[in-house]
Amino acid sequence: MTPTRKRRLIAVGLILLAVGVATTLTVFALQQNMTYLYTPSEILAGKVPADARFRIGGMVKDQSIERGQSLTVAFVVTDGDGDMRVEYEGILPDLFREKQSVIATGSMQGDRFVATEVLAKHDENYIPRDVAEAMAKAHEKHVKEGNEEPEMENGQ
């Protein structure tokens, strides 16, 4: 093996090693920080792995906000098909309101969802795309099963 070849071989080897390490780290970091979005009916159907940290998306049900001690608050998120009680401690975003869309990040504790972060990124006519799609799915299913239309004011 000529010295040039040997040097090239070392260089290629180092590059492959670097790429390998980088890929591993990236995949690891991605998997650690990836959160999936589910709607209440998907959660009730048992689609969420136990102990998973995930996002719940849907509408804040009318008249469902309950304030507790200091900054604790609870509300019900609905997708028209299923309801899920969400508990949170902290300040809710400006755009958080009843009958408006919401995304909360957290995990299940028993039969309720404990949120560490609540987002309501929308204006009055806008539902986050993720939520809209998830809810459209719930709606479709509803229609297919021949149930009555869910009573939803989704503003679209």
Q: Which residues bind another protein (CB under 8 A)?
A: 22, 25-26, 29-30, 32-37, 55, 67, 70-71, 90-92, 94-95, 121, 123-130, 132-134, 156
Minimum Å gap between C-beta 146 and another protein is: 26
Backbone angles phi, psi at 72, to 5 degrees: -75, 145
- 76 versus 134: smaller Cβ distance to another protein: 134
Q: Please calculate the CA angle 143-74-60 and round it to the nearest 5 degrees.
A: 30
Query: Least separation, in Å, of the C-beta of 59 and another protein?
Result: 15
User: For another protein, which is the closer residue by CB, 44 or 95?
Assistant: 95
Instruction: Output phi, psi for 40, to 5 deg.
Output: -50, -40
- Least distance in Å: CB of 35 to another protein? 6
Q: Amino acid letter at 26?
A: T
Nearest residue to 86 via CA among 65, 113, 55: 113
d(CA 39, CA 78): 8
Least distance CB 31 / another protein (angstroms): 9
